Structure 1
Amino acid sequence: MSSHQVSLSTILAYHAQREPGRVAVIVGDERVTYAELDARSNRRARLMAVQGVGFGDFVTVALPNGLAFYETVFGLWKLGAIPNIVSAKMARPEMEAILDLVRPRLFIGEAPVPGLAALSETPQGLDMHSADALPEIVSPHWKAMTSGGSTGRPKVIVDAMTAQWNPQEGFLLQRPGDVILNPGPLYHNAPFHCVTMGMFVGATIIEMQRFDALRALQLIEEHGVTWVTMVPTMMHRIWRLGPDVLAQHSLPSLRMMLHMAAPCAPWLKEAWIGWLGAERVWEYYGTTEGIGSTIISGVDWLDHRGSVGQVRPGYEMKILDAAGRELPTGEVGEVYFRPEAGPGSTYRYLGSQSIRIGEWETMGDLGSMDADGYLFLSDRRNDLIISGGANIYPAEVEAALEAHPAVRGSAVIGLPSEEWGAVVHAIVQPVEGASLDEAELLDFVAGRMARFKLPKRIEFTDEPLRDEAGKVRRAALRQARLTPTEGAPLD
């Protein structure tokens, strides 16, 4: 395999020259080839250059999934700039905090604050600019993603990788020429990373824009999708379509369904393995910071049920206690990683500090390793509930609740208690039209876990409890219940 690196400023042209008719992105009925996307992003680049964008500049991109998003990001790489991706729907205080950290040269989207240099999704004068190639350039950082962080304070994660890639080298078992479905929001790291990496090897992206369970299955079959990444929330919604619907969709073209970004309940994973086959269901655990990651096939998972896999080549992993001592096999502690090139080699923070012990770094996840080096996650340190001296992991309680057919989603938090220190409080979103009462649900969960882990109270809501990437914002939910205000939103 060639180790030839191609600048992301010319990678669309690279694929267009080799396969002129190759489709880069399909959105609805619109099919855009690599050559067309290259030309469109050249125009966007020139328009942004007029606004003063150049090498090493941060540009904040707040656009929904769509062609303008792809054109903008590739246009920024053509200028040697750094795309800082944020949600177009982000609350203004959080957006302002990120802008304060990043100090972008330009904002793409609806400008949240006056006086900020901005371009809209469909800016005027775009067609006046040339679609010809620009000089080759390599941006010093290929992306700067944003995260609410477990503390709720926003931070920006500036990737250390320069904007170049080997177009023969697939990321996470992607292959050149794959057909990739994108069901997730591109402002989240996993979809952004997987989709753009797919394009670096010449994949065709089927862009959903908005996730819909049945539509996802239809698109996979219609376009012969070979590779998709999902979060467990999406898997749950697809499974809830029921056996009659699933029996009609065997997804013959799909080589790999990789799930990530949130814990997956073992019953749900088993259900998918039973449907698609163990060799097609994979799981990845990693961080936006790129300090380390694990991967596991469905075949290995059946032998190590509940594991998220072994550490990937290029990284090391240890389980350490609070004093930094390595813990024996099977004991729960904090998961620490070390990348091959050492700490700080994969990213830098704006607005946050790394948590390190020597050369080892953690994101605050708790877990244990078995004798074969397979990692089993428990939860995040910040989410752990200590009730009556016992450790309770919210993700485990949520998995038990969500096994009930009338539960669409759940979030489990710890609330203060004089007697227990903290008590388990479950917030449950029932399936639309389903009748569900607290006693019945508690009885159901009691058959699945130890008594001390049971929720002391179940609160029902029709508000979504997870964001589009399947993440529960537990800190915000807990805060809302500690300082309740009239009509306060749940998330």
Structure 2
Amino acid sequence: MFRLQSTESRRLLSMARSTPGRPLLSVEEPSGEWAHHTAGDLAGRVAATARFLLDGGWEPGRHIVVALPNGEGLVRAVLASWTLGSSPLILPPEATDLERETLGADLGTAFTDALPLGERELATALRLAPPQEVSPAPEPEVTWHLPTGGTTGLPRLYPVVPGPGRTLSGVREIMRAAAWRRDAVQLSVGPLSHAAPLLTCVAGITGGAHVILPRRLHPASVMSAVERFRPTWCQLTPHQMALLDANASLWDALCSSLTGVLHTSAPCPEDVKRRWISRLGGDRVFETYSSTQVTGSTFCDGDEWLARPGTAGRPFRDNEVLIADPKGEPLPPGETGEVFMRSPWTRTFGGKGFGSLRGRGDGFFSIGDTGRVDTDGYLYLTGRLDDIVIVGGANVNTREVERVLLTHPGIADAVVVRRHDGLMGDALHTLIVPADPADPPGIAAVHEHCRGLISPHKIPMTAEIVDALPRSHAGKVERFLRSDAASAP
């Protein structure tokens, strides 16, 4: 038997000993059937996998690469890594060789020497689990390395500090504030190679909840999960909320059992947010703003949001928010600037893991978002520093332009990107998903709509009609895929 020092592994082992039959994870298989894993079963699988890794050449300091789709295998790989005191490198399963090389470039030989843990290794581990004991492993200082930066450029693997025990404990605090309970039936629909879905999924399992993993975010898969398990809690992105909102029968079924939903990622469209609050109530819809780098977090419930539409909440507990000018100097409430955050983690681990972020030297770090706070300390996000395009010498925030475009009745979705212009240097180009593909708005209609709503230099010079915007599996628009893609006429 393992003697474990990893906090989350101890939590799993404790449940396996006290309540071995406790349901912790149900996963939809490719066949459409559901596989169920109790505390006892999952703990045994984790132990077998850790022993297999040791037998296969793992040693302290060597990373474990996990590039798996949503499922028991990914969860088991993460927990087995922690059992050994290792920080797993989490890669999107669909990543190309070039993308993997880009992701691991900062780690150098630590990436190329990492031990792969894929579907074949996981299956073999259950068949050939060596019987050797494992020496006690101290908890790793880094929870995992996760891809980040994918909305602005090719992503990189970022070390998330502190270790899993403190990180997941902090996540469960936010989840509990958002109506999560230890006996929750927790629906998890996001890709587990992204921060919020992975954090809430694993925190739920090791916290004792029954986590439900559909194979994909598809109406049939999600409906199967909802009808079979009647989930009481879930974490969603605004894009996922909009997709569910558009499917009346699925939305009805899901909302009939939910007692809490926490949304993360980008600000939620106001009409979508209002419909979810109207359906569930302000005491069941929650929002948190954070980042893969865990620099800090804000939080609010639906009633707070209705009183202050557009807010991302106030700093959660011991977290702090500061709005600064380009020189890093604090700005007063109401003025827009760069968003800096300070948390218990940045105060403690500021010298480790946060060095690549823009800091002020006092524990406050920025991931490049812009925003303002009101006199009560509520944060409002306005965009990103890299959303700024200089058009004819004037700064233009592309998110501001997108908000105006989305008020056009013929536009279902839109993104604004930079394109090179021989005369002006930079100009604005918009990709538009029409509400009616048979009658898309032309550039003249776009210009007419924008006049009077934004200054002339902010109106996109060119437009392109597309079937859909390039989005990551987490639902974020991947602007870097089309930025500078359009050439000047």
Q: Normalised by the size of structure 2, how large is the TM-score?
A: 0.85
Alignment partner of 1:373 is 2:373 = no
SS in 2 for 1:368: strand
User: Which letter does structure 1 place at the counterpart of 2:359?
Assistant: R
Partner of 1:285: 289
Alignment partner of 1:68 is 2:73 = yes
TM-aligned CA distance change 1:272 to 1:424, over 3 Å: farther
SS in 2 for 1:478: coil
Cα contact 2:431–2:466 (8 A) shared by 1: yes
Output aligned runs, 1:45-444, within 5 Å. 45-102=50-107, 118-123=116-121, 125-126=124-125, 127-130=127-130, 134=134, 136-140=136-140, 141-148=142-149, 152-164=153-165, 170-173=173-176, 174-213=180-219, 215-216=221-222, 219-242=225-248, 245=249, 248-249=252-253, 251-340=255-344, 342-343=346-347, 345=349, 348-349=352-353, 353-359=356-362, 360-387=364-391, 391-402=395-406, 409-417=413-421, 422-430=426-434, 435-438=439-442, 442=446
SS in 1 for 2:367: strand
Give the whole-Å Cα distance in 1 for the aligned partners of 2:351 and 2:27: 32
Give the whole-Å Cα distance in 2 for the aligned partners of 1:231 and 1:131: 43
Give the whole-Å Cα distance in 1 for the aligned partners of 2:100 and 2:157: 11
SS in 2 for 1:139: coil
Residue-by-residue CA offset, 1:10-51 (whole Å, 9 max, x unaligned): 322212223222111111211111211111121211121122
User: Which letter does structure 2 place at the counterpart of 1:160?
Assistant: V
Q: How many residue pairs align between the two structures?
A: 470
Residue-by-residue CA offset, 1:304-330 (whole Å, 9 max, x unaligned): 111101011222211110122211211
Q: CA shift at 1:447, angstroms?
A: 9.2
**Unpaired stretches in structure 1, ≥5 consecutive residues:** 107-112, 485-491
User: Which letter does structure 2 place at the counterpart of 1:210?
Assistant: R
Residue-by-residue CA offset, 1:125-181 (whole Å, 9 max, x unaligned): 421215898555333222121224566254322122223368895443232122111
Cα contact 1:317–1:337 (8 A) shared by 2: yes
Residue-by-residue CA offset, 1:238-290 (whole Å, 9 max, x unaligned): 22225xx3674362321221111123222221222222222222111111111
Give the whole-Å Cα distance in 1 for the aligned partners of 2:240 and 2:359: 34
User: Which letter does structure 2 place at the counterpart of 1:323?
Assistant: K
Cα contact 1:157–1:347 (8 A) shared by 2: no
Give the whole-Å Cα distance in 1 for the aligned partners of 2:47 and 2:436: 46
Give the whole-Å Cα distance in 2 for the aligned partners of 1:10 and 1:405: 54
Partner of 2:31: none
Cα contact 1:383–1:393 (8 A) shared by 2: yes
Give the whole-Å Cα distance in 1 for the aligned partners of 2:18 and 2:452: 55
Partner of 1:11: 11
Once the two structures are overlaid, the 10-residue window that deviates more, 79-88 or 424-433, is 424-433
User: Which letter does structure 2 place at the counterpart of 1:22?
Assistant: R
SS in 2 for 1:269: helix
User: Which letter does structure 1 place at the counterpart of 2:194?
Assistant: H
User: Which letter does structure 1 place at the counterpart of 2:69?
Assistant: P
Partner of 1:110: none
Partner of 1:23: 23
Residue-by-residue CA offset, 1:327-352 (whole Å, 9 max, x unaligned): 121111001112236556168449x7
**Unpaired stretches in structure 2, ≥5 consecutive residues:** 29-33
Partner of 2:486: 481
Give the whole-Å Cα distance in 2 for the aligned partners of 1:59 and 1:395: 38
Q: CA shift at 1:462, angstroms?
A: 2.7
Give the whole-Å Cα distance in 2 for the aligned partners of 1:105 and 1:475: 27
SS in 1 for 2:349: coil
Give the whole-Å Cα distance in 2 for the aligned partners of 1:461 and 1:426: 10
TM-aligned CA distance change 1:96 to 1:341, over 3 Å: closer
SS in 2 for 1:82: coil
SS in 2 for 1:334: strand
Give the whole-Å Cα distance in 2 for the aligned partners of 1:365 and 1:401: 21
Cα contact 2:55–2:130 (8 A) shared by 1: no
TM-aligned CA distance change 1:272 to 1:150, over 3 Å: closer
- What is the RMSD of the two structures over their aligned residues, measured on CA atoms? 3.3
TM-aligned CA distance change 1:246 to 1:210, over 3 Å: closer
Give the whole-Å Cα distance in 2 for the aligned partners of 1:447 and 1:216: 42
Q: CA shift at 1:206, angstroms?
A: 0.7
Once the two structures are overlaid, the 10-residue window that deviates more, 429-438 or 328-337, is 429-438
SS in 1 for 2:94: coil
Q: 2:466 aligns with which of 461, 465, 471?
A: 461
Once the two structures are overlaid, the 10-residue window that deviates more, 406-415 or 292-301, is 406-415
Q: CA shift at 1:406, angstroms?
A: 6.5
SS in 2 for 1:21: coil
Give the whole-Å Cα distance in 1 for the aligned partners of 2:97 and 2:144: 22
Give the whole-Å Cα distance in 1 for the aligned partners of 2:350 and 2:292: 10
Q: Normalised by the size of structure 1, how large is the TM-score?
A: 0.85
Q: CA shift at 1:214, angstroms?
A: 6.1
Q: CA shift at 1:369, angstroms?
A: 0.7
Cα contact 2:339–2:371 (8 A) shared by 1: yes
Give the whole-Å Cα distance in 1 for the aligned partners of 2:250 and 2:408: 19
Identity over the aligned pairs, expressed in percent?
29
User: Which letter does structure 2 place at the counterpart of 1:24?
Assistant: L
Once the two structures are overlaid, the 10-residue window that deviates more, 12-21 or 407-416, is 407-416
Cα contact 2:62–2:114 (8 A) shared by 1: no
Q: CA shift at 1:85, angstroms?
A: 0.5
TM-aligned CA distance change 1:221 to 1:311, over 3 Å: farther
Q: CA shift at 1:215, angstroms?
A: 4.3
Residue-by-residue CA offset, 1:360-382 (whole Å, 9 max, x unaligned): 22111110111100111110101
User: Which letter does structure 1 place at the counterpart of 2:62?
Assistant: D
